[in-house]
Structure 1
Amino acid sequence: MKQTLLPTSTAGSLPKPSWLAEPETLWSAWKLQDEELKSGKQDALRLALQEQQHCGIDIVSDGEQSRQHFVTTFIEHLNGVDFIHRKTVRIRDRYDASVPTVVGPVSRQKPVFVDDAKFLRKQTKQPIKWALPGPMTMIDTLYDDYYKSREQLAWEFAIILNQEAKELEAAGVNIIQFDEPAFNVFFDEVNDWGIKCLERAIEGLKCETAVHICYGYGIKANTEWKKTLGSEWRQYEAIFPKLQQSNIDIISLECHNSRVPIELLGLLRGKKVMVGAIDVATDTIETPEEVAATLREALQYVDADKLYPCTNCGMAPLSRKVATGKLNALAAGAAIVRSELQGKN
């Protein structure tokens, strides 16, 4: 992968076109069916790629155009999970949701995203990042009526994720990212076995690996929860030391408009860090200078060759116009700081 100073990327999802799904809505139903849906998803993927390229994003993704949800779209392709008989559970100790039930041994029937990754690889020579749900976030999005053990189920998912990740790598993916917002809630479990499960999911991979930990999409349940966290969000402090020692290459988190003390990045010294410089919980489009200011702060604690400017989280709930404006600002802000750094050399 060609090394660019301060390579930009998105944390995950991008808005879907209105002809594919209801815009600015999570879990939106598809508006197409069968072969039309398949080709529609590919068209949406092409649009998402083109949008990223026009905005100057360095590490591109599929924008999660073929997924209704960042976790359940993967799970619905697995054996052992019943989507008909659902249960209501508390998601990340934050809000109630109706979720599928684990009723037997979980296994992967066939590759889930590999064909999509191959399709994206044919469209571009740029570095590609692909997001998968992390084991702990997967178990937190289900009702387990079979294993009756969060840890055991997480290990089973880690094995399945590793199978998928190896095939994504073979398809030409340069960075495989595991989304683990649950890491921001279940700190004891993260340190006891969560990070080890994640390391099982990346076992044998030669491509770069990342874990995205965040305070979530800009939806009401998340924004209300964040109001309860006080003036400083120090949750990362509980898990960064072990993540710094882990085999994961890149840690992704939000910084812009968050109350995460920037000095906590110092706990990750030596790791690459995807620094969220775009707030996904507001329609206000950042200026390039605001992005640059966030990156300059982060550079006090992250070496320049290890800093990856990024969005705080996915942007599926935003309008396409707002998301595009934010991607333009991200690229322009990174360019400002990149020029400053190169001017010093």
Structure 2
Amino acid sequence: MNTLLPTSTAGSLPKPSWLARPGTLWSPWKLEGDELVEGRQDALRVSLAEQERAGIDIVSDGEQTRQHFVTTFIEHLGGVDFERRETVRIRDRYDASVPTVVGAVERKNPVFVEDARFLRRQTTRPIKWALPGPMTMIDTLHDIHYRSREKLAWEFATILNQEARELEAAGVDIIQFDEPAFNVFFDEVNDWGIATLEKAIEGLRCETAVHICYGYGIKANTDWKRTLGSEWRQYERIFPRLRSSRVDLVSLECHNSRVPMELIELLRDKKVMVGAIDVASDTIESPEDVADTLRKALRFVDADKLYPCTNCGMAPLARGVACGKLEALSAGAELVRRELASQDEAGSVVPG
């Protein structure tokens, strides 16, 4: 990216009301068959137009063609029975009915590749595509076949690598792996979680990112955050190992959170997608709010490695709110760009 402080979203954006129920996370589709295919493509066009209108530099599909950031990918794999469901604890936070791994998992066909090609044809801007990470995938299933979280994670890493290579060939510039589970299972993350993530990015020439947040702005997540105390130091457990990994960018939650900003220092030399938009609130940030978060982050990450972003996906928000937040993100980043440019000009003046 030649743009200083290039902006992007962490993931999902609200779907149009004619495609899914507004304000509802993982809402069922309102269309079927060919109408659903056309409707999802139309929604992708709308989401892209809203990002470009807001001035977002690195655009995405806004996850318009998927219901769930994890299970939509798993639905396309063999070895998983969606009729055989069990209730499991998701990220030690809430209970959910999930499908069961009953045999060897395999990717029979590409999952998002055609959608990525469609997005590539719609824009000349850099595009980012999100995939679920191996550890978050295993945490969203009941497994009676492998009976080993680590073994299943390695299998998923191989499958994700197949998909990622085809997404790269389809013109994706940044492939992001969503790993909210990294904020929970710290020992496993350091023992094999980051290693499976590196397997998922093996051989890629495009940039790669890992998104580690504190979740959507839903009650289960906000309730959990209230138990974390005055400082959220979860990142401290995994950033040292991530710093030495082959992942290019790390996406994290900063704005309106209790994450100590100095923890970013543990990622020194990595590119950091700094969450400067609160997705758990309907309040639209001012450009100055965004700029203030970015200024604080710049004490710990070089300007050419800072990528302003949202804390997490915004699917549950009203579209007007999400668009306002995207505009604030762009405007806040521009404020800081001008400040940095002024500092450079002042520093280049030779005293008389």
Q: TM-score, normalised by structure 2?
A: 0.97
- Report matched runs for 1:263-342 at 5 Å: 263-342=262-341
**Corresponding residue for residue 102 of structure 1:** 101
Deviation of residue 344 (structure 1)? 1.6
**Corresponding residue for residue 258 of structure 1:** 257
**Corresponding residue for residue 206 of structure 2:** 207
Equivalent residue letter for 2:137: M
Q: Deviation string for 1:73-93 (max 9, x for gaps)?
A: 000000000000100000000
Structure with larger Rg: 2
For 1:256, what is the secondary structure of its paired residue? coil
**Corresponding residue for residue 48 of structure 2:** 49
CA distance in 2, matches of 1:339, 1:136: 40
Q: Deviation string for 1:272-328 (max 9, x for gaps)?
A: 000000000000000000000000000000000000000000000000000000000
CA distance in 2, matches of 1:213, 1:274: 10
Equivalent residue letter for 2:153: A
- Runs (4+) off by over 6 Å: none
Q: Is 1:136 aligned with 2:135?
A: yes
Deviation of residue 166 (structure 1)? 0.2
CA distance in 2, matches of 1:257, 1:185: 20
Q: Is 1:229 aligned with 2:228?
A: yes
CA distance in 2, matches of 1:32, 1:259: 40
- The percentage of aligned residue pairs carrying the same residue is 78
**Corresponding residue for residue 90 of structure 1:** 89
For 1:282, what is the secondary structure of its paired residue? coil
Which 5+ residue runs of structure 2 have no aligned equivalent? Answer: 345-352
Equivalent residue letter for 1:69: H
Which 5+ residue runs of structure 1 have no aligned equivalent? Answer: none
**Corresponding residue for residue 59 of structure 1:** 58
Equivalent residue letter for 1:186: F
For 1:270, what is the secondary structure of its paired residue? coil
For 2:3, what is the secondary structure of its paired residue? coil
Single out whichever of 21-30 and 141-150 deviates more from structure 2: 21-30
CA distance in 2, matches of 1:156, 1:91: 20
CA distance in 1, matches of 2:134, 2:218: 23
For 2:9, what is the secondary structure of its paired residue? coil
- Report matched runs for 1:120-135 at 5 Å: 120-135=119-134
For 1:82, what is the secondary structure of its paired residue? strand
For 1:122, what is the secondary structure of its paired residue? helix
Q: Deviation string for 1:17-54 (max 9, x for gaps)?
A: 00000111112000000000000000000000000000
CA distance in 1, matches of 2:70, 2:2: 30
Q: CA RMSD in A?
A: 0.4
Q: Deviation string for 1:168-187 (max 9, x for gaps)?
A: 00000000000000000000
CA distance in 2, matches of 1:225, 1:23: 24
Deviation of residue 109 (structure 1)? 1.1
Q: TM-score, normalised by structure 1?
A: 0.99
Deviation of residue 197 (structure 1)? 0.2
